[in-house]
Amino acid sequence: MKSYSATDTALPDVSSSAILDRAQLERTFDRLFADNGPALSRLAGSYTNTSGDRDDLLQDIAMAVWQALPRFRGECSERTFLFRIAHNRGATWLARTLPRRAMENRAVVALPDELRGPAPSAEVELDREQRAERLRRAIRLLPLNYRQVILLALEEMDYPEIAAVLGISESNVGARLTRARQMLREKLENAL
C-alpha cells in the first residue's frame, strides 16, 4: 500500500503558531493513516475494479481527510470521521465512474495484499480464493446502502459507529445489516 504523508500537500505558513498547528496536523494525519490504512485500502477496493483505481481512490480519500482534518471537532471518534469521509468519497467515485464503467463493475476485484495469507496447500488456497471471489462479487452486487453497512460490519465496527459513519439510526443499521446478510445469502446460493 502506498504510504501517505501530510507533507505531500503544501499549506502556506503564516506564523509560528501556524507552523506548530501544521506540525500537529501532520502528526495526526500520519497516525490516522498508519492506524487505519489497511482498512481504508480494503474499503477503497470495494468501490473499484483495479488496484490502480483503488490506489487513486485511496489518494482521493487521503486528500479529503487532509482537507477536513483542521475542521474535526471531536464530536465523533477519529475512526468514524475517517470512514465517513472514505464512504462519501467512495460513493462519489462510483457516481463519477459508474456511467462509463458499467460493465467493469461486474469484474472481480483482486484482494488487497493485506487480505492474503500463506496457504497450507495449493488446494486450500484455491478453495479460499474461490470463496473470497464469490463473496466479493456478491458484495459488489448489493445496492450501495447495503454494501456500505456490510463493509463497515466486516471492519468490526459496532452499530453506533456504523450509524455515525452513514448518518443513520442504529435501528436502521440493524435493519440494513439484516437485509444485506439475507441478500448476500441469496446471491451466494444462486452463484452455486
- State the residue for C-alpha cell 500537529: 24
In three-state secondary structure terms, 103 is coil
CA distance 134 to 161: 27
Domain ranges of the chain: 1-113, 117-192
1-113: in CATH 2.40.30.10: no
pTM: 0.66
**What does the pLDDT read at residue 82?**
92
41 with 59: CB under 8 angstroms?
Answer: no
What is the chain's pLDDT, residue by residue, as a tens digit (192 residues)? 455 544 444 444 434 445 558 888 899 999 999 999 999 998 888 888 788 898 999 999 999 999 999 988 888 889 999 999 999 998 888 888 765 554 444 444 444 554 454 545 778 778 888 887 788 888 888 998 999 999 899 888 999 999 999 999 999 999 999 999 999 999 888 876
Residue with cell 462519501: 88
Give 30-67 pLDDT, tens digit per residue.
999 999 999 999 888 888 878 889 899 999 999 999 99
Q: What type of residue sits at position 152?
A: L
Q: Which residue has the cell 439475507?
A: 182
pLDDT at 20: 56
Q: Which three cell numbers stand for residue 177?
A: 445489516
DSSP one-letter code for 114: G
**Does the CA dihedral 99-150-2-21 come out positive or negative?**
positive
Say which amino acid occupies 13.
D
- Give the three cell numbers for residue 106: 461486474
Cα torsion through 98, 100, 106, 110, rounded to 10: -90
Q: What is the CATH number of domain 117-192?
A: 1.10.10.10
Maximal CA-CA distance, the chain? 63
